[in-house]
Amino acid sequence: MASVSGSVRLQRCIVSPAGRHSASLIFLHGSGDSGQGLRKWIQQVLNQELTFQHIKIIYPTAPPSSTVGPSFVRPYTPMKGGISNVWFDRFKISNDCPEHLESINVMCQVLTDLIEDEVKSGIKKSRILVGGFSMGGCMAMHLAYRNHQDVAGVFALSSFLNKTSAVYQALRDGDGVPPELFQCHGAADELVLHSWGEETNSMLRSLGVSTKFHSFPGVYHELSRAELENLKSWILTKLPGEVERQRE
């Protein structure tokens, strides 16, 4: 697996902090998008750039599905064989089917390199948040709960885990305190059903994860301003600036 991660270096769109860099946020896009695309989408929804005084935001881009490592050159199944920027393959978009663990595991290793780059630059893992939209949120849950339970927290927007997810097994087998999950879901989502998000949240909570779940009436499979404002507030509670940390 190390050879695969070594051959895949993700493109990264970076938003630097306004002041001294003391924490990092890795924000993963949904299927078919890019890091730059997600950054622009957030900017459109908020009518301004998402920025922090002390937090660097990293928007990586998933490699095309045909190039995710030399060991599996394959198309994205839900697109009927199309090539797309995806974090992993799915057998279908459903919570009631097996996970495509081979592709998920390879990308966990690739994203581990991204986390390790931040650690090498002087940022502790306890000052790193990982999360994403849709498939990106699912990828973040695999990355954190199966590989990096010492990150500051996880967020998942319009995301879900399959009923038999390896994430659940990892939490059953673990004995530490898993990072907190911040989850948001549009109640009108017709692609990733709201009930799938609720079921994921309930399952994780039953396995010892401290969770927050926010429902947004009338919101489809999309980002909303209220959701992003809530997320921004949560990010600052998990990754406070220097002044706030001194007060604690």
Residue 209 placed within a domain: yes
Q: What is the pLDDT of residue 244?
A: 52
In this predicted structure, what is the pLDDT of residue 44? Answer: 98
DSSP 62: P
- Are the CB atoms for 11 and 78 separated by under 8 Å? no
At 84, list the tokens. 């797309």
Task: Please confirm, yes or no, whether 189 is among the known catalytic residues.
Answer: yes
Q: How far apart are the first and last CA of the chain?
A: 41
* Residue 58 maps to a domain: yes
Structure tokens at 239: 């990754």
Catalytic residue among 5, 54, 185, 189: 189
Report the CATH number at residue 187: 3.40.50.1820
Which own/partner pairs from 79-86 qualify as long-range (CB within 8 Å, at least 24 positions apart)? Answer: 84/31, 84/32, 85/29, 85/31, 85/32, 85/33, 85/34, 85/61, 86/31, 86/32, 86/62, 86/135
Does residue 232 fall inside a structural domain? Answer: yes
Beta strands in 77-204 (DSSP E): 128-133, 153-157, 181-186
Q: Assess if residue 39 is contained within a domain.
A: yes
Q: Is residue 6 part of a domain?
A: no
pLDDT at 83 (0 to 100)? 54
Q: What radius of gyration, in Å, describes the C-alpha atoms of the chain?
A: 17
Is 134 domain-assigned?
yes
Question: What is the token pair recorded at 137?
Answer: 């949120």
Annotation marks residue 221 as catalytic: yes
Q: Taking the mean position of all CA atoms in its chain, how far away is CA 21? A: 21
Other CB atoms within a 10 A radius of the CB of residue 217 amount to: 8
Q: Which of 31, 134, 158, 159 is catalytic?
A: 134
pLDDT number for residue 92:
74
Residue 81 near residue 57, CB atoms below 8 Å: no
Number of domains in the chain: 1
| Amino acid letter for position 91 | F
- Integer Cα distance of 91 and 99 in angstroms: 7
Q: Is residue 123 part of a domain?
A: yes
Provide the residue-wise pLDDT of the chain in tens; the chain has 248 residues: 344 455 577 899 999 999 999 999 999 999 889 999 999 999 999 999 999 999 999 999 998 754 444 333 345 444 444 556 888 887 778 888 889 898 899 999 999 999 999 999 999 999 999 999 999 999 999 999 999 999 999 999 999 999 999 999 999 998 889 999 999 999 999 999 999 999 999 999 999 999 999 999 999 999 999 999 999 999 999 999 976 555 54
Nearest alpha-carbon partner for 240 in 133, 137, 126: 126
The verdict on residue 109 lying in a domain is yes
Q: Is 134 a catalytic site residue? A: yes
Q: Are strands 11-15 and 153-157 parallel, antiparallel or unpaired?
A: unpaired
- Domain with 128, as residue range(s), is 12-238
